[in-house]
Amino acid sequence: MAAAGGTAVVQAPGTDAWNGLRSRVARLLGRGDPAREQAELERLDQTATVLRELEPAEADRVRNRQEASWRTRFETVLENVSDEVERARLAEELRALIDEQSAHTGGGGGSVSGNTFHGPTAIQTGNNNRQDNHFGNGS
């Protein structure tokens, strides 16, 4: 799910969905701390700027790096919550964010099935024109 969240963040800048996604991601990662939320808004704005200023020769590398960075941020926030109820709430919030972004980019939603995976897994997301495959622990 964290990988799909990273993809959603990278696909959103420049779309009608960006402002809503930006606010929701900052709220999710800020977890009620206004200073952390503001820091996340600044990171999101930096990501949008980097993606807007892409050189064609570096586009894939930069997008992949940005996706990995946001995936790691989502993984970290989910892993650092010791309360299972709170972790489930954050995971559901991330799932809703991903589904909404997927609907805006033509992915049709449903890219995250809600299964729990143990061991190596492959997560695939795409938007009809681009396909991203992430291999790892399924986070």
Q: Note the pLDDT tens digit of each residue in 59-107.
A: 999 999 999 999 999 999 999 998 999 999 999 999 999 998 888 766 5
| pTM for this predicted structure | 0.72
How many other CB atoms sit within 10 Å of the CB of residue 127?
A: 18
* C-alpha R_g of the chain: 14
For residue 102, give the amino acid letter.
S
* Separation between Cα atoms, residue 129 and residue 84, nearest integer Å: 37
How many other CB atoms sit within 10 Å of the CB of residue 32?
A: 7
Task: Kindly state the tokens that stand for 46.
Answer: 């930096």
* Separation between Cα atoms, residue 70 and residue 83, nearest integer Å: 22
For residue 42, give the amino acid letter.
E
The mean pLDDT value for 26-45 works out to: 95
Positions of E strands within the chain: 121-126, 131-136
pLDDT at residue 108, as a whole number: 41
